[in-house]
Amino acid sequence: MDILLFIIAIPLIVLGWLFYLNISSSEEQTNFKNDKFGDYFLKDIKKVVDHLEKLPKKNQVNIYENIIYKYGKYCKEIWKLEVSRGREFKKIYKRYLEEAGEDRRENMTSEGYENPRWLAAAIFETLLFSEGKKMSFDNGKKLRGYVFDKMKKVLPNNKNLKIFLKVNS
């Protein structure tokens, strides 16, 4: 009878651990070699930021402050989690990604790259993509670094930006 319980218990323990590992690591970024998605977004964000830099300085400041506010709100929710890559992370990440995509689609007009609201939503959405598992960790870090460096030139004294620069150093 003891051997029968032992034979049943071992597979259940193994299945439990596999289930736990699957849940806890399902959204982690990896460093895969062929990261076409990440390469595409690195090229695209440079185009978007170039168009942003053609706008007046006042618009640039407003856009970057809006992005920092939204990204800060997202990071605050993520950093509160003890296990940062479980179900709660997926819910928060998905919610912010859907809101950013909806905001980008709502502000899509014939102005295209000259619409400040669309540019802010597109950059914020790309920052969120840099945190997801579709992009490699290296490309995500490069993307965030590029955007934060551009922000630093426009907003040199922003406290929240300084925190993000330290975290993403």
Q: Among 29-33, 116-120, 146-150, which is the least confidently predicted range?
A: 29-33
> What's the rounded Cα separation, in Å, for the pair 148 and 145?
5
- C-alpha 107/C-alpha 89 separation (Å) is 27
Question: 110 by DSSP, 3-state: which?
Answer: coil
Quote the number of domains for the chain.
1
Residue 88 · residue 81 · CB < 8 Å: yes
**Least reliable range by pLDDT among 8-17, 21-30, 89-98:** 21-30
pLDDT digits (tens, 9 = 90+) for 46-101: 888 888 888 889 988 898 999 989 988 888 888 877 655 677 888 888 899 899 88
Residue 21, pLDDT > 70, answer no
The answer to whether 27 touches 83, Cβ cutoff 8 Å, is no
Domain that holds residue 161: 2-167
Query: 91-132: per-residue pLDDT in tens?
Result: 888 899 899 888 888 887 766 677 788 888 888 888 888 887
Residue of higher predicted confidence among 15 and 89: 89
The pair of three-digit structure tokens given for residue 87, joined into one six-digit string: 């179900």
Rounded CA separation 148/80 (Å): 22
Please compute the mean of the pLDDT values over residues 134-152 and round it to a whole number: 84
- In this predicted structure, the answer to whether residue 14 has a pLDDT above a threshold of 80 is no
> 122-147: buried (b, 16+ CB within 10 Å) or exposed (e) per residue?
bbbbbbbbbbebebbbebbebbbeeb
